[in-house]
Amino acid sequence: MEHRIIGPGPYRATKLWNETIELFRAGMPQRRHRVHFKTYDKCFTASEAVDCLHELLQCNQNFGPEVTRNQTVQLLKKFQKNHVIEDVKGRWGREDFEDNGCLYRFPPTSPLKPYPRRPQYGMEPVPFPKWAEKESPAPQGRVPVKPIVMNSEMWYKRHSIAIGEVPVCRLVYRRELSPADVEEIWRSKTLSHLQKILGLDSLNDVMDAKLVHGKHIVHNVYNINKQNIVVLEDKSKELPHWLLSAMKCLANWPNCSDLKQPMYLGFEKDVFKTIADYYSYLQEPLLTFQLFDVFVNVLGLLHRKLIAIEALQVCCLLLPSENRRKLQLLMRMMARMSLNREMPPLCDTVGNRALVVQTFSRCILRSKEEADLGELLSTKLVTFMMDNYQDILSVPITLKNAVEDYVFHQRRVQIKYPGADTDATIHPTIPQPQMSHSNSHEYEYQKTNKPQDPLKVLLEDIITNKQLSSKEKKKRLKQFQRSHPEIYKERFPTPESEASLFPEKMSLKSQLSFFTLKRPFQPFQRTRSFRM
């Protein structure tokens, strides 16, 4: 029976558990054993089980060659507790399995776990704020807003500027975004991005999105120092000073010039044990219990390194700020220790790299029940994170730019025309009035007359828009003059005020011909454009 790579999806840990059991049962040799003058058929010794399962796990791409023999023994203890195996006398339910010659066998009943019926957390897939529902594309997993089918009248109103008229319009000022609104946008966009990376139809089966707080995401993105490490506002949640000194000592070994304690033979081992003891007493792992399934799903992407790094970047943004800071400091120390050739061996049986992973993997990631493959999965994930910690624990630029652009869009002014849908609007950028020494009338008008009427604001936008060419600006002003002569006359009471808009190129003749109002009756009317 060949193993297969189990990718992201609901109940990934359970699938891995069941597949491991099936492979173990299919590959474990069973034969007759004689102990104390008694013969037992179809059984195997504990050491034989360790040998078989250890080789199986190391060859399995879902776990990898980093799996140790001790971890295999721990997994077999869980197998005995969950009645995957039993001793030859039919006893199980305890974790007294040891790497020795005791006899074990497989029970006749199926040891596979059924897929749990997860409670539906009540989360709509990646909800957006209600006030923004019609102002952005529908995220993946959400029913999009039904498009509006325009008739000829609506099309005429939308494109009225192009055919020579400016209809009645109104400015819509989007509501001012509060900090809570911005946090909700970050939360929704981050969850949508994570769902897309993992390739899931919904995040309901892998996490409770109600427990994800937008304030943590915003803090993790913007409150960082030059090393991209989170800076906490509440100093009471900071790591103890003595622990920071100890971690800094091992991270920079043997250059510990700021360390005041005297150094002695074996000093580095005592410092390492002190750090390990502190992290071993954490009540919850740094990646939290609620995000366990999410990180386990990322393990299915490790064969695609860049995608796995991006997924872990987003997942780590969901952490509480104090957890993210502790993780960043711990990962930095672990990575430097694993690559430091000057660091003396901290253990006689394993190397420093394997030691730091085995020591801290449980405090970084573990399941709440601890009755599955949590230790093996955490070892594989922590190894990958340690090797790529600088990229993983940095802010994902793509996500940051996308959210910031969306927030900026929500704060812009809209000009809406009757009959046009929400998305079919023009979004002008209205610059602030500026004083010009060559145009005293412009400055006095902007200073004393702050337009409140939407048409006046529209006229000011045409006047002050520096992106328009002179030809295009003249065309739009002429259109506005024909449609709203009273407002135009109020804005430009004299020919001098009109001419001041184009002082460098416009002659007196062109001023008179361009800005003179049309007569009420003309023998020839300009043919309206039929361009679509």
| CATH code of the domain covering residue 253 | 1.10.555.10
DSSP secondary structure string for all residues of 330-377: HHHHHHHHHH-TTSPPS-SSS-HHHHHHHHHHHHHS--SS--SSHHHH
Segment among 330-334, 475-479, 525-529 with least mean pLDDT: 525-529
Domain presence at residue 440: yes
HEC states along 221-257? HHCECCCCCECCCCHHHCCCHHHHHHHHHHHCCCCCC
Residues 258 and 358 in one domain: yes
| CB-CB neighbours of 38 under 10 Å | 8
Surface-to-core class of residue 2, CB atoms within 10 Å of its CB (0-12 exposed, 13-18 middle, 19+ buried): exposed
Segment among 128-142, 222-236, 314-328 with least mean pLDDT: 128-142
Q: Using an 8 Å Cβ cutoff, are 181 and 129 in contact?
A: yes
Q: Using an 8 Å Cβ cutoff, are 212 and 226 in contact?
A: no
Domain boundary among 85, 105, 125: 105
Residues 273 and 364 in one domain: yes
Domain presence at residue 402: no
Residues 311 and 387 in one domain: yes
Banded model confidence at residue 50, pLDDT cuts 50, 70, 90:
very high
Summarize the confidence of residues 56-80 as an average pLDDT: 87
Q: DSSP assignment, residue 144?
A: P
| CB-CB neighbours of 246 under 10 Å | 23
Residues 348 and 451 in one domain: no
Please tell me the predicted confidence (pLDDT) of residue 264. Answer: 79
pLDDT at 467 over 80: no
Report the CATH number that the domain containing residue 70 is assigned in CATH.
Answer: 1.10.10.10
Surface-to-core class of residue 181, CB atoms within 10 Å of its CB (0-12 exposed, 13-18 middle, 19+ buried): middle
Q: Using an 8 Å Cβ cutoff, are 72 and 134 in contact?
A: no
pLDDT at 268 over 50: yes
State how far the Cα of 336 lies from the Cα of 249, in Å rounded to an integer.
11
% of the chain residues with pLDDT over 90: 34
Segment among 92-101, 181-190, 494-503 with least mean pLDDT: 494-503
Residues 317 and 466 in one domain: no
What are the pLDDT digits (tens) for 417-438? 555 554 443 343 333 334 444 4
Our measurement of the distance from residue 221's CA atom to the centroid of its chain's CA atoms, rounded to an integer in Å, reads 10
What are the pLDDT digits (tens) for 326-338? 999 999 999 999 9
What is the CA angle 341-342-348, rounded to 5?
80
Domain presence at residue 465: yes
Q: DSSP assignment, residue 426?
A: B
Regarding predicted confidence, which is higher, 207 or 216?
216
State how far the Cα of 306 lies from the Cα of 200, in Å rounded to an integer.
18
**Average per-residue pLDDT in the chain?**
78
Residues 501 and 455 in one domain: yes
Q: Using an 8 Å Cβ cutoff, are 80 and 63 in contact?
A: no
Phi, psi of 103, deg, nearest 5: -95, 140
Residues 277 and 380 in one domain: yes
pLDDT at 58 over 60: yes
Residue 345 structure tokens: 């061996």
Residues 299 and 445 in one domain: no
Q: Using an 8 Å Cβ cutoff, are 102 and 92 in contact?
A: no
| pTM for the predicted model, two decimal places | 0.63
Summarize the confidence of residues 50-71 as an average pLDDT: 88
Q: Using an 8 Å Cβ cutoff, are 109 and 21 in contact?
A: no
Segment among 223-232, 297-306, 433-442 with least mean pLDDT: 433-442
Q: Which domain holds residue 265?
A: 225-394
CA atoms within 13 A on the CB side of 352: 19
Domain presence at residue 372: yes
Residues 441 and 369 in one domain: no
Domain presence at residue 16: yes
Domain presence at residue 243: yes
Distances (CA, A) of 365 to 42, 76, 357, 478: 37, 20, 11, 68
DSSP secondary structure string for all residues of 374-414: HHHHHHHHHHHHHHTHHHHTS--HHHHHHHHHHHHHHTSEE
User: What is the number of domains present in the chain?
Assistant: 3
pLDDT at 193 over 80: yes
State how far the Cα of 218 lies from the Cα of 204, in Å rounded to an integer.
23
Residues 385 and 437 in one domain: no
Please, where are the H alpha helices in 10-81? 12-27, 46-59, 69-81
Domain presence at residue 525: no
pLDDT at 483 over 80: no
Domain boundary among 342, 375, 394: 394
State how far the Cα of 367 lies from the Cα of 291, in Å rounded to an integer.
9
Q: Which of 135-149, 198-212, 510-524 has the highest mean pLDDT?
A: 198-212
Domain presence at residue 131: no
Residues 382 and 475 in one domain: no
DSSP secondary structure string for all residues of 487-516: HHHHH--SHHHHHTTSTTT--HHHHHHHHS
Regarding predicted confidence, which is higher, 421 or 392?
392
Closest CA to 205 of 143, 141, 128: 141
Q: Using an 8 Å Cβ cutoff, are 104 and 79 in contact?
A: no
What are the pLDDT digits (tens) for 284-304? 999 999 999 899 888 888 888
Domain boundary among 105, 136, 155: 105
pLDDT at 188 over 50: yes
Regarding predicted confidence, which is higher, 463 or 514?
463
Residues 240 and 304 in one domain: yes
Banded model confidence at residue 222, pLDDT cuts 50, 70, 90:
very high
pLDDT at 259 over 60: no
Alpha-carbon torsion (388, 394, 398, 402), positive or negative: positive
**By three-state DSSP, how is residue 429 classified?**
coil
